[in-house]
Amino acid sequence: MDIFDQLGIPSGRAICYSGFRAGQHPGGKHPDYEEIKEDLLLLQDHWKYLRLYDCDPHAETVLQVIRQEKLDFKIMLGAFIEAEMNNFNCPWGGGVYSEEQLEKNAAGNQRKINRLIAWGRQYPDIVFSLSVGNEACVDWTDHYVSENQVLEYARQVKSQAVQPVTFCENYVPWLYKLQPLAEALDFISIHTYPVWEYKHIDESLDYTKENFYAVARKYPHKPIVITEAGWATNSNGRGIYPHNVNEEYQKIYFEKLMEWTDKERILTFFFEAFDEDWKGSPDPMEPEKHWGLFKIDRTPKLALTHLFQSADLSYNQ
């Protein structure tokens, strides 16, 4: 039985969606109804499933647009839980906070979990699954939450929600420290990024398969979803070799990944729909800013030019 049958959902392609445009960012200005509607109309003919990262005004507007415009999307809705513990191993030094801030984060996380449950119940026809966090347990995270606390959040959501519950994390922690959490979830969600691990494009798909099947072998009784896999198109050298990223390589990885996951019927959220310039450092070549299949002006990169030829795609026109 494949993942679509296991979750009781129709087969279809999936993509990570965050609609923040130039001058917008989480905690600041969010995209409005018409901007999100424009994005979703652009995506609707090619993707069935969208992943949203937080129970914030952005996600609320996405859910409203889908319902009011009667768009055919299903949503993986997430709660982005913030640091509740210090992580002194964070390589960019962002994982250390005051005790006051950690307590504030914990209270905010509980509010997010409550909102996750509430929105899942409010939009049961649109939200097909709920995630209790994103990359909060991996060794390098800057928003560390203990696996026991994530497990507690998962149990809270499972006891009150109607959707299956998961947690989105890099593939590595699933292999050595997240087994109790894995057993409590309805399905496991993994992230795989060959380019972050200095793999060349020629090694990319084989490495992603290794990551996926390593987790699948450890949990043969659990459904596995890939909730992030992608290829950046620019880099300043911070964590990714500049010669390893460009639009040609992204196209190769996207096509090979989709061919494999379509054939094996593995639900896979490609990361991501649109470039986001608020991410990472102020350097415009920061790799975090350049993962989209579309540029920030909504024009397609090479992987999608055969699908989107119209010059009218840019929202600036």
What does the pLDDT look like over 98-118, one tens digit per residue? 999 999 999 999 999 999 999
The CATH number of residue 149's host domain is 3.20.20.80
> What pLDDT is stored for residue 310 in this prediction?
52
Would residue 316 count as lying in a domain? Answer: no
Q: Which of 3, 121, 7, 99 is nearest to 55 (CA)?
A: 121
Would residue 90 count as lying in a domain? Answer: yes
Q: Which domain holds residue 44?
A: 3-310
How many distinct structural domains can be found in the chain? 1
Tell me the average pLDDT across 117-133.
Answer: 98
Q: What is the DSSP string of 141-200?
A: -SS---HHHHHHHHHHHHHH-SS-EEEEEEHHHHHHT-HHHHHHSSSEEEEE-GGGGT--
> What pLDDT is stored for residue 1 in this prediction?
72
| pLDDT tens digits for range 222-235 | 999 999 999 999 99
d(CA 32, CA 29): 9
CA 141 to chain centre: 15
Would residue 104 count as lying in a domain? Answer: yes
Would residue 315 count as lying in a domain? Answer: no
Half-sphere exposure of 15 (CA within 13 A, CB side): 23
| pLDDT tens digits for range 7-22 | 999 999 999 999 999 9
pLDDT higher than threshold 90 for residue 217: yes
Would residue 208 count as lying in a domain? Answer: yes
Residue 263 CB: number of other CB atoms within 10 A?
A: 8
> Is the pTM above the cut of 0.85?
yes
Q: Helix (H) and strand (E) counts for the chain?
A: 9, 8
pLDDT higher than threshold 70 for residue 317: no
Q: What is the DSSP string of 209-221?
A: HHHHHHHHHH-TT
Tell me the average pLDDT across 69-88.
Answer: 98
pLDDT higher than threshold 70 for residue 315: no
What are residue 200's phi and psi, to 5 degrees?
Answer: -80, 160
> What pLDDT is stored for residue 312 in this prediction?
47
CB 226 within 8 A of CB 215: no
Cite the DSSP H helix spans in 53-131. 57-69, 99-122
Q: What share of the chain is helix, strand, coil (3-state, %, to 5)?
A: 40, 15, 45
Confidence of residue 93 (pLDDT cuts 50, 70, 90): confident
Would residue 317 count as lying in a domain? Answer: no
| pLDDT tens digits for range 254-270 | 999 999 999 999 999 99
> In this structure, are strands 188-192 and 165-170 parallel, antiparallel, or unpaired?
parallel
Tell me the average pLDDT across 194-214.
Answer: 98
pLDDT higher than threshold 80 for residue 26: yes
H or E, element range at 75:
strand 74-78
Which of the given ranges, 90-99, 199-208, 305-314, has the highest pLDDT on average?
Answer: 199-208
